[in-house]
Structure 1
């Protein structure tokens, strides 16, 4: 049976550690403040959020690490500042509506090297069996960077969301790129994947510049 939660505020909620599954939830107008959903010791990614919808909600000062998100839909998420989804993986996750600044990043660099390597290997392996990871085609971001998700597994709006392949790095050696185009290309230094999606966030005050810079790559045959 699904659980409906509406209009509640969760402050300093801590869900820490692997071997947990949160599923069958519909959250509407929920606020998360200074909450943690994380695990740092299980490369098997046993901390799972599955079959969950979130609508018209917000988060502030929250931390997310090492979570497996599957069959999740987020429709409208206000974020007080940039939130990082670190060491997380995604399968059939849809982001739409107005979404605050959001970024996927590698696992915590403070972890021991062996554990980092095990996490990274598990993340790469996970995506080999995923038909699509993220659908961001209807999202209106204020800022967004999902370089830690394989770009070819992202459903996107090609008007503002550009698919880049790793060979763009060699093709632009010695070329002075526009600022946001250069940032997008540089993300291949951080990701293990051979493709990524670069985003011109519609709700950013710099949207026009983002779009112009990324269109430069497309005109040059360096992005799709």
Structure 2
């Protein structure tokens, strides 16, 4: 079983890989020049990484969906140009059929890095007003997470990821963050019980 030191080392290494990847692809400047200021959020932004996944949020108006769709081709060519093959790219326009979490645009990018490690980058283009609310909420979350037991979060995320059909099904990273903030326990079983009690 991993130790706290090993989990911290893994999180640090993954964050360094993520930042190197963003630098190599020039993704953030591309998004900034095309749509406006992007924000690296999720586990990469919070420095709580246990797997190779990057979330990027920005504000994108509904009428800009053609530019957002064209972004897929631009990204594929850019990745190819630096020696990375974009294996799969999932496009979603939730302005057409709004998701309960909010209206916006999405690209899910799946690829392997230069040494064969699988990555996923989630690009979220939210409605501007919604994006502003999300930015404020995220600032509050970052402040709360800064006071939490960081290793508890890394351990629970690692354990949840190791269980088949568990992370994203029974619990999410958001659940783990809220559980840690609430200081409601120290294991996944306690998390499940806490989650069930708070969903009533």
TM over 0.5: no
Counting helix residues as a fraction of each chain, which structure ranks higher? Answer: 2
Counting strand residues as a fraction of each chain, which structure ranks higher? Answer: 1
TM-score, length basis structure 1: 0.25
TM-score, length basis structure 2: 0.27
